[in-house]
Chains A and B, each alone.
Chain A
């Protein structure tokens, strides 16, 4: 008899496509949260596969902190066109101007937390009933407890101790007015799976994932990119380094690593040999042991 088994990346792909179709079937106005990072790129790539030959039946939503790498924005518009998807952009700056959010002060100031305000406002304005995200359970310990279909109350809050059980492939997306869901189709993928899949599928990525020369300064053992809005201590000296980014987020809290990996193959090799996690380069997770749990409870991605 033939061997009817899937390789693990095929099985993960099949699971993610199933989740994406389930979202389209169970919800009226989903959006796909798109940051320009590799995880949201993968989710949009999977969405293209899930609904082909039809268009992806929901728009991409980008919450722009105003502190995005220009390469990310350029990539976003190119990729959306490539996969024939609609993009909606909402700006954290607008939330600040309207007095809905207050800019943080000091050298650790970041708009990372403020994104939650803009995101929840956008969800309300667009009447979004499900926001699809690229979070993975292997990233962070609070995310390890996340469901594929994750319920949010009318305040956008996550209640981790009272989550709906998820069994087999039965997903309960039922909700009352004003509530919404977050769906995480690549929950079961690891960082390595993502990179191997990008390699196998030959998915184009923003340039800043690859080695390049950049003006950076060191803080808490991390290399941060130097932009004019970055507040530096007098001791923090800007120098030029050959670096790349392992994750793509807000400039103020995304650390770079020194690397000469300039092709996908080299990046995969580097990830395979790495002894630290990619979230280790994220200052937003280092605020406290439960930093991610607290942000997620408030409605973060």
Chain B
């Protein structure tokens, strides 16, 4: 056996292993300073490397731009660089000694609602940018609505370009009041407001010297310290079976493990559980991982569960607690965001993915369409086109085991897939 280098120290006490993870989304259009803000966060947290910076600088010069255009860092595709716009969701990474961050950077224009929804689906926090000169506009409301619809637990409203309004407190307070008035219509979420200038770096990483009247945290401080421990559901035990592990080896001859990612609650060895759809009761024999057995597992851990009794279980089944079961039904109400150029067909049949379960469904009706700029319900035009959001009823071929999206993002979400092209057509949130 060749000598391959390994470490002698198994567990470093370095801070890196103590960091947690925050996923946040930013939405914005041309000129609202989103790229500058991300550039500032990456640059000031020293996450931009010299060769990346040099490459961007060279491109900027070649394009005849007067300053180093940090937007070129985030626009990855040729078409995006040519047109100077963000088309798709781009993921960015940076870390401070406290946390690691994943940014889902999404375009903000209405025609990219689907990209915003995609970026928002996995985020713990949303940054909503407001131009201090313009105040709360349609786009602001759209971004806030999407954040609320997708149940992003925290929103940070950055009132940007404060330098262009002479750093006036009245401007900040007035925009804050407008936003709060509007946000009262949204489901309750944790909202914070920060006056910033992304261009000059005021209150982004360093405290602003120009706004003594503001006593709150900087944006980075907020990102580093916001409480995210309660963002997962640790009450309702849900374990969608993803894959059955049968080693078929001498050593593990009779082993049957049910692999999956905990979607909610805390499972413990010895717990009495019920398997859906069969309804059989049994107990958890062990919670296995490659690194050894665990006493308990919680969301979003990937583990393998073995059970005391031999029960026929396959992918798509769900292990839950006897006295806390999900809803079981074939008739489901959804808020849906439509992704495809071909509109949603009432009476149309689609394939469906929900947790680890595949099914088919028929769209029974569209209850209403949302005007996502005003939050009004549109009842006279019920055609859901690309980027539209509306409320629909579907009937599935097999029962789904689900919770409302508001109580569990994993067991409350589903996607619809076109039967002919296999494209993902829409994203649904169960109400």
Binding site for B on A (CB under 8 A): 3-15, 17-18, 21-22, 24-25, 48-55, 74-75, 78, 137-138, 141-145, 160-161, 163-172, 174-176, 187-188, 190, 192-193, 196, 198-200, 202-207, 209-210, 262-265, 274-277, 279-280, 289-290, 293
* B360 in the interface (beta carbon within 8 A): no
Q: Is the CB of B5 within 8 A of A167?
A: no
**Separation of A172 and B17 alpha carbons in the complex (Å):** 32
Chain A residues with CB below 8 A from B255, complex form = 53
Please, could you name 10 A-B residue pairs with CB atoms under 8 Å apart, sorted by A? A49-B289, A51-B243, A51-B245, A52-B245, A53-B249, A53-B255, A161-B87, A166-B424, A174-B351, A293-B78
How many inter-chain contacts with C-beta < 8 Å in the A-B complex? 226
Whether B339 sits at the interface, judged by CB under 8 Å, is yes
Give B1's nearest chain A residue, CB to CB.
Answer: A78
Residues of A within 8 A of B249 (CB): 53-55
B93 within 8 A of A: yes
A210 pairs with B5, CB closer than 8 A = yes
A53-B247, A161-B87 known; A6-B5 Cβ under 8 A? no
A289 cross-chain contacts in B, Cβ below 8 A: 55, 59, 78, 81
Whether B402 is near chain A, meaning CB under 8 Å from some CB there, is no
B403 within 8 A of A: no
Contact A170 B90 (CB under 8 A): no
Beyond A202-B10, A280-B49, 13 additional pairs, beta carbon < 8 A: A3-B229, A53-B249, A78-B2, A142-B76, A145-B76, A160-B88, A161-B79, A167-B427, A168-B410, A200-B17, A264-B5, A276-B50, A277-B51
Question: Are B19 and A142 closer than 8 Å at their CB atoms?
Answer: no
B214-252 contact mask (Cβ, 8 Å, vs A): 1 or 0: 000000000000001100101000000011011111011
Residues in chain A near residue B73, CB distance under 8 A: 141
- B289 contact set on A, CB distance < 8 A: 49, 52
CB < 8 Å: which of B10, B243, B353 contacts A170?
Answer: B353
Any chain A CB within 8 A of the CB of B95?
A: yes
Which of B21, B122, B288, B298 lies at the interface centre, i.e. has the most chain A CB atoms within 10 A of its CB? B21
Q: Does B148 contact A (CB under 8 A)?
A: no
Contact A263 B21 (CB under 8 A): no
A220 to B92, CA, bound (A): 28
Measured CB to CB, the closest approach of chain A to B129, in angstroms, equals: 20
> In chain B, residues 351-386, which have Cβ atoms closer than 8 Å to a Cβ of chain A?
351, 353-354, 356
Give the residues in chain B near A199, CB-CB below 8 Å.
Answer: 7, 9, 12
Interface residues of B in 169-225 (CB under 8 A from A): none
Q: Is B259 in the interface zone, CB < 8 Å from A?
A: yes
Contact B95 A190 (CB under 8 A): yes
Task: Give the residues in chain B near A166, CB-CB below 8 Å.
Answer: 118, 424
